[in-house]
Structure 1
Amino acid sequence: MKRSSILIFALLFGRKVSAQEIITPPVNQPKIGKSLFNNTVSRNFSRKGEWFVHWGWNFSWYDTSDLNFKGPGYNFTLKNITAKDRPSEISTDYINPLELTTPQFNFRFGYFIKDNYSISLGWDHMKYVMDVPQTVNVDGYISATISNPAIPTGAYAGTYNNTPLTVKADMLKFEHTDGFNYVSTELERYDDIWVAKSQKNMLTMETGVGVGLMIPRTDVRLFGVGENNFWNIAGYGISAKAGLKFHFTKKFYLQNTTKVGFTDLSAIHTTGRDDLDGASQTIRYLENFTALGFQF
Structure 2
Amino acid sequence: MFLVALVATTFGQGKNNKGKFYIYWGWNHAQYTKSDIQFKGDGYDFTLDNVVAHDRQTSFGIKYFNPSSMTIPQYNFRLGYFVTDNWNISFGIDHMKYVMDQDQVVKMKGSINTGSEFDGNYNNVDKKLTEDFLTFEHTDGLNYANLEVRRFDNIQHFPITKNGKGIDVNVTAGLGAGILYPRSNVKLMGNDRYDEFHLAGFATAAMVGINFTFWDYFFIQAEMKGGYANMNDIRTTYDKSDKAKQDFFFSQQNLVFGAIIPVFTHKNKLNF
The answer, yes or no, to whether TM exceeds 0.5 is yes
Larger relative contact order, structure 1 or 2 (CA cutoff 8 Å, min sep 6): 2
Distance 1:122 1:80 in 2: 30
For the residues of structure 2 that align with 1:83 and 1:283, how far apart are their CA atoms?
A: 10
CA distance in 2, matches of 1:159, 1:269: 23
Give deviations 1:136-184, integer Å, cap 9, x for gaps. 1112111142xxxxxx2x1x32112222211111100000000000000
Structure 2: which 5+ residue stretches go unaligned?
Answer: 1-6, 262-272
Task: Give the superposition deviation at 1:227.
Answer: 2.3
**Distance in 1 separating the partners of 2:98 and 2:72:** 14
- 1:121 CA displacement: 0.2
Q: Which residue of 2 aligns with 1:205?
A: 171
- Please identify, of 193-202 and 236-245, the stretch whose mean Cα deviation from structure 2 is larger: 193-202
Aligned with 1:114: secondary structure? coil
Determine whether 1:247 maps to 2:209.
Answer: no
Secondary structure of 1:103's aligned partner: coil
Aligned partners of 2:144 and 2:29: how far apart in 1? 14
Q: Is the 8 A contact 1:143 1:157 kept in 2?
A: yes
The worse-fitting range, judged by mean Cα deviation, of 72-81 and 198-207 is 198-207
Aligned to 1:66: 36
Identity of aligned residues (%): 37
Aligned-residue Cα RMSD (Å) equals: 1.5
Deviating runs (4+, > 3 A) in structure 1?
Answer: 34-39
Change in CA separation of 1:207 and 1:264 when aligned onto 2, cut-off 3 Å: same
1:103 aligns with 2:68: no
Instruction: Please report the TM-score for the alignment, with normalisation by the length of structure 1.
Output: 0.81
> Residue 234 of structure 1: CA displacement?
0.6
1:127 pairs with 77, 97, 113, which one?
97
SS for the counterpart of 2:192 is: strand
1:258 matched residue in structure 2:
224
The corresponding residue for 2:45 is: 75
Residue 257 of structure 2 is matched in structure 1 by 292
**2:134 matched to 1:172?**
yes
Seen in structure 2, the aligned counterparts of structure 1 residues 77 and 61 have a Cα distance that, compared at 3 Å, is same
Asked whether the 8 Å contact 1:37–1:193 carries over to 2, the reply is no
Give the total of aligned pairs: 251
The separation in 2 between residues aligned to 1:244 and 1:176, in whole angstroms, is 29
Asked whether the 8 Å contact 2:28–2:254 carries over to 1, the reply is: yes
In the alignment, residue 135 of structure 1 is paired with which amino acid? V
Out of 186, 192, 196, which is 1:220 matched to? 186
Larger strand proportion, structure 1 or 2? Answer: 2
Distance in 2 of aligned mates of 1:233 and 1:171: 24
Q: Which amino acid aligns with 1:185?
A: L
Q: TM-score, normalised by structure 2?
A: 0.88
Q: Which has the higher helix share?
A: 1
Which has the greater radius of gyration? 1
